[in-house]
Amino acid sequence: MTPDPHRYDLDALRARLLDERGGKVDDSIPTLAGADPGLCAIALVTPDGTARLSADADVAFSIQSAAKPFLFALALLDTEGEALDRVGIEPTGESFDAIKLESGTGRPPNPMVNAGALLTASLVRGSDTAARDARIAEGLAAFAGHDLAVDEDVAHNEHLLGDRNHALAHLMRAEGTMQVSADDAVAVYARACATLVDVETLAVMGATLACGGVNPRTGVRVIPARVARDVVSVMATCGVYDGSGRWMRAVGVPAKSSVSGAIVLAAPGRMGAAVVSPPLDAQGTSVRGRLASEALSDDLHLHSFAAG
């Protein structure tokens, strides 16, 4: 019998995870460097829109790369699928900020690495930076079911200090694959990454993907089912960067990791989930987040490739 997620003891899982002390908090910008390494929260949201939450589920953090699936979704929506010609969908086996584009085409390799997200963020509707910022805010809010604040310090510092992102944007300009200015691309992407969420909100966003594009809380269709399927497929192959193969074997649930220690998971037809805990492994995945995801997958029978 399939276990009931609403009876799952997330606080017992959380207590076990707190014993794990491995990993290193990201120090690329002051706000992230100052994150509490002891933070650990887990949320599950099922297709009826109800949530199961651990302690700390209301602590806010910047979404960072967990925004990438949603930026890809908005780019697909706003370009009516043309985004699929502008960005690859192959895993790279390299780190999230590798300075590398697809050979031959000069496109970013996939929308889950920084190059790809810089591009997808530039493809959302809007004639200038402010209009694209507003469109992304509106789109992320639709996935979440409510408006989301932005951490202005994080947005500012990532724009200022994101040298590798500036390099990637310039490289795409040089290849002719990025249409907006490099500075515009980095500003819009940095602001999207600075969006504040908590695990309950992020789990609702994951659940919207898991429910074929309909937000289970608001009932609003945010994206067509086909777009949700495309996004979740690419999360499955590329969402955990150079750890995607290992993740798929051990967890078996499409997911996206991020430097704030957040992970968003989408188990189609079953649930959305989110975990946050800042200490990261070598691939930039939350150490406790990975362990939590493995436990959820095992205990709630979420692995995509398990026969029973």
**By the rule CB under 6 A, 162 interacts with ligand GLN:** yes
CA angle 85, 245, 139 (to 5 degrees): 45
**By the rule CB under 6 A, 195 interacts with ligand GLN:** no
Q: Which stretch binds ligand GLN (CB under 6 A): 2-10, 50-58, 103-111, 157-165?
A: 157-165
Question: Residue 138 carries which side chain, given as an amino acid letter?
Answer: E
Q: Which of 62, 183, 85, 172 is nearest to 132 (CA)?
A: 183
243-262: contacts with ligand GLN (CB under 6 A): 258-259
Q: Which stretch binds ligand GLN (CB under 6 A): 5-13, 158-166, 221-229, 231-239?
A: 158-166
Identified binder of ligand GLN from the candidate list 102, 158, 198, 230, rule CB under 6 A = 158
CB of 306 to ligand GLN, least distance (A): 28
Q: What is the CA radius of gyration of the chain?
A: 18
Write out the two tokens for 9: 């003891």
111-140: contacts with ligand GLN (CB under 6 A): 114
CB of 97 to ligand GLN, least distance (A): 6
CB of 126 to ligand GLN, least distance (A): 20
Q: Rounded CA gap, 82 and 190, in Å?
A: 23
**By the rule CB under 6 A, 279 interacts with ligand GLN:** no
Q: Which is nearer to ligand GLN, 26 or 230 (CB)?
A: 26
H helix intervals, 79-224: 83-86, 114-123, 129-144, 152-161, 163-175, 182-193, 199-210
Which DSSP letter does residue 94 get? S
Looking at the DSSP assignment, which residues form a beta bridge with residue 150?
195
Residues in contact with ligand GLN, total (CB under 6 A)?
12
**By the rule CB under 6 A, 65 interacts with ligand GLN:** yes
In sequence order, the 6+-apart residues with CB closer than 8 A to the CB of 80 are none
Q: Which is nearer to ligand GLN, 217 or 290 (CB)?
A: 290
CB of 72 to ligand GLN, least distance (A): 14
CB of 26 to ligand GLN, least distance (A): 8
Q: Rounded CA gap, 54 and 10, in Å?
A: 5
CB of 6 to ligand GLN, least distance (A): 30
Identified binder of ligand GLN from the candidate list 31, 46, 54, 64, rule CB under 6 A = 64
Buried b or exposed e, range 6-20, using 16+ CB within 10 angstroms: eebebeebbeebeee
Q: In what order do the strands lie in the sheet with 41-45?
A: 51-53, 41-45, 271-276, 262-267, 255-257
215 assigned ligand-binding residue: no
| Interface with ligand GLN (CB under 6 A) | 64-65, 96-97, 114, 158, 162, 165, 193, 258-259, 284
Q: Binding site for substrate: which residues?
A: 65, 114, 158, 165, 189, 241, 259
